[in-house]
Amino acid sequence: MSSSNQLINYIKENLNNGVAKEEIKSALLDVGWSESDIGEAFSFLIIQRGREKEQETQPQPQPQPQPQPQAQPQTEGLPEEPAKEGILEKLSSVNLKVVGVVLGVLLLLGVFLFFIMRSPSPEERIIERASNMMELNSYGVDYNINGKAEGDEGSFLSLSTKGSMDVDRLAPAFLLSVNLDVQGRDELGETSLKTGGVLTYKEDDLYGNFDLFELEEKWNHENHSSFLSPQETDFLAREFSGKDILLLENLMQEVNEAIAEEMDGYDASSVATQDIAQGINYLLPKVLTEEAFKVIASEDVQLNGKDAEKHTVRVNYLELLDNLLFSISDLSEEGILATDDIRIKIEELRVAMEEDPEEAEAEYEIWIDEEYILKVEFPIRVDLLKYDPPDNVEHEMEDVIFYGEGVISFRDFNKEFDVEKPDDFITIEELMEVLLSDAYKEAEEARIMSIVSQIKSIAEVVFSQDSSYENLHQFPEMEDIKEHYEVDLYTEQYNYCVSIEGVEEGEFFCATEDISPRKGTPCTSAREGCEEIEPED
């Protein structure tokens, strides 16, 4: 018998026994029948009774009813709860406790998978923090870069620089402090540079304020000369250390013109070119794919008193460049990149890197917090430019790689600061005017004249010892002088001629065994040169 027939018969039997409708309905609800099923059953019985009454031709006499106690619905024969279709029907024979356990496990598994799927990976977190950096209005940077390259025959180049930088991206403006120490030596000579100071960029002008601690170049070949002599270096340090110098006006204009020469169609004024942050944010997730950018180790750390994550990242530059090339066309189509010529530069870089697999991969260490990148430590590997020496000089320092490491730390995110332009400064043109001024010329002429006088004194010492000037070249003090100055020196047993070029081109200071130091013609042999020049009217 179907469940619906059971329900109808139960209701009909209890109604015939005088049980109230509400009592019947309550009993059925208690065993799980729905109100809609109960209501349909009562409606069916009402319709059925109406039809039965219409079929009766004559009414039958009814006995006088006698008072009876209120009837109660039967408990026996109460129809069972109707079976539901679908999954509840399939689980009707399963122990409810087992069902509860299974559902609980499924729920926990779902929650676990939800957080696993929704929690960003370390790579995604790094990319997100890098994207946030593009939106900063201002930030501070501290940097420290060190490295050294070593070649044949004791040649080397070392560099150490550190400092800080405060950047106002909206202005734009920046303050850059620099401390630089460069040392180098090869077959051509030696170079030493130590300096420190501040670069200021504001309103598209670049200013410098430096202290020149040391600048010295010593060349071992006659075709080379120092950029600045020790006397010139001393003069610059004395006159201009600590003063603001306008190094370059309209810096970005100069930069854009230089880029335009390299890339046809480059438009510095276009929105596509100017919105660098948009372009970088567009590229980051496309370029830093799993093949190109993979976190290989992670740990929670403390950095400057803050909770942070430290990630060791392996970068594959070939994959990165491939991704970049693939994305270039999209940038052009969406108006983020103003020219496609950059593709050519990237392809050239990829070909060069493919020839040297050691350059194709590197490991970085990146520290991040909840919002930004805090610190990056990275390797440095640069092919030094091959120097083109004179034809008669064999230069051995070729194919030398500069190795080192750099550390960049970020701070003061969106902190307000103001970059001020120097009120009192001199220009490069004014600096050159000072170097070419009469006062400087007179000082340099006096310096050169003193060197010629010193050589004449050495020559007399040599002749007194050897009765000849021929060994003047090998005298120790002469070796020191020739390391710093370009000296034309010719010797014979009883004659010599020495000349040094002055400040102005074609002007020489000279001396011989019988001529005191003076302005004259350059020496061409031990007996020719140092002729007196008549002063111009």
Q: Are residues 178 and 319 in the same domain?
A: yes
CB 448 within 8 A of CB 509: yes
| Among the listed residues 192, 189, 185, the one whose alpha carbon sits nearest the alpha carbon of residue 150 | 185
**Domain end point (choices 82, 109, 131):** 82
Is 536 contained in some domain?
no
Q: Are residues 416 and 505 in the same domain?
A: no
CB burial string 209-245: b at 16+ within 10 A, e below: bbebbebbbeeeeeeeebebbebbbebbbeebeeebb
Q: Are residues 178 and 271 in the same domain?
A: yes
- The CB-based long-range contact list for 295-298 (8 Å cut-off, 24+ gap) reads 295/121, 295/122, 295/123, 295/126, 296/363, 298/122
Task: For residue 292, give Cα distances in angstroms to 83, 342, 356, 360.
Answer: 59, 20, 17, 10
Is 113 contained in some domain?
no
Phi, then psi, of 441 in degrees rounded to 5: -60, -45
* pTM exceeds 0.85, yes or no: no
Number of structural domains found in the chain: 3
- Integer Cα distance of 440 and 428 in angstroms: 16
Is 87 contained in some domain?
no
Q: Alpha carbon 420 to chain centroid distance?
A: 26
Task: For residue 398, give Cα distances in angstroms to 134, 146, 224, 300, 352.
Answer: 39, 21, 19, 44, 17
Q: Are residues 355 and 317 in the same domain?
A: yes
Q: Are residues 262 and 367 in the same domain?
A: yes
* CA gyration radius, the chain: 47
Q: Are residues 40 and 179 in the same domain?
A: no
CB 212 within 8 A of CB 237: yes
Is 336 contained in some domain?
yes
Is 110 contained in some domain?
no
What pLDDT, on the 0 to 100 scale, is given for residue 463? Answer: 93
Is 164 contained in some domain?
yes
Host domain of residue 487: 448-520
Is 535 contained in some domain?
no
Is 374 contained in some domain?
yes
- Integer Cα distance of 171 and 194 in angstroms: 32
| The token pair that represents 214 in the structure block | 């040391």
At residue 499's C-alpha, the angle toward residues 493 and 500, to 5°, is 145
Q: Are residues 280 and 392 in the same domain?
A: yes
Q: Are residues 396 and 299 in the same domain?
A: yes
Q: How much helix, strand and coil, in percent to the nearest 5, is found in the chain?
A: 40, 25, 35
Could you identify the residue written with the tokens 């950018």? 293
**Count of CB atoms situated within 10 Å of the CB of 509:** 23
Number of H helices, E strands in the chain: 15, 16
- Cβ within 8 Å of residue 245, ≥6 positions away: 207, 208, 209, 425, 426, 427, 428, 431
- Cβ within 8 Å of residue 466, ≥6 positions away: none
CB burial string 517-532: b at 16+ within 10 A, e below: bebbbbbeebeebbee
Q: Are residues 65 and 140 in the same domain?
A: no
The edge-to-edge listing of strands for the beta sheet with 361-368 is 293-303, 306-316, 361-368, 373-383, 401-411, 138-150, 156-168, 173-186, 189-202, 205-219, 245-248, 426-427
DSSP 17-35: TT--HHHHHHHHHHTT--H
Q: Alpha carbon 70 to chain centroid distance?
A: 90
| The token pair that represents 103 in the structure block | 């559902």
Q: Are residues 128 and 43 in the same domain?
A: no
CB 197 within 8 A of CB 178: yes
307 forms bridges with which residues in the sheet?
Answer: 302
- Integer Cα distance of 330 and 282 in angstroms: 10
Angle between helices 230-240 and 428-435 (to 10 degrees): 130
Per-residue pLDDT of the chain (537 residues; tens, 9 = 90+): 456 777 878 888 887 777 777 788 888 888 778 887 887 777 777 766 655 655 554 455 555 545 555 555 655 556 655 554 433 343 344 455 555 555 666 666 655 554 445 578 898 899 899 988 888 889 999 999 999 888 776 778 888 999 999 888 777 888 899 888 888 877 667 888 888 889 999 888 999 888 866 777 666 655 555 556 666 666 677 777 788 888 888 887 877 777 777 666 666 665 555 566 666 777 788 888 888 889 999 999 999 888 999 999 999 888 888 888 777 766 666 555 555 667 777 788 888 778 777 778 899 999 999 999 999 999 988 776 555 555 555 555 556 778 899 999 999 999 888 888 888 888 888 877 776 677 677 777 888 888 899 999 999 999 999 999 999 988 888 887 887 778 999 999 999 999 998 877 788 999 999 999 998 999 999 999 999 877 665
Angle between helices 317-333 and 342-354 (to 10 degrees): 170
Q: Are residues 208 and 326 in the same domain?
A: yes
- Integer Cα distance of 61 and 84 in angstroms: 46
**Domain end point (choices 30, 52, 82):** 82
| The token pair that represents 470 in the structure block | 């021929």
What pLDDT, on the 0 to 100 scale, is given for residue 41? Answer: 78
**Domain end point (choices 400, 431, 462):** 431
Q: Are residues 148 and 203 in the same domain?
A: yes
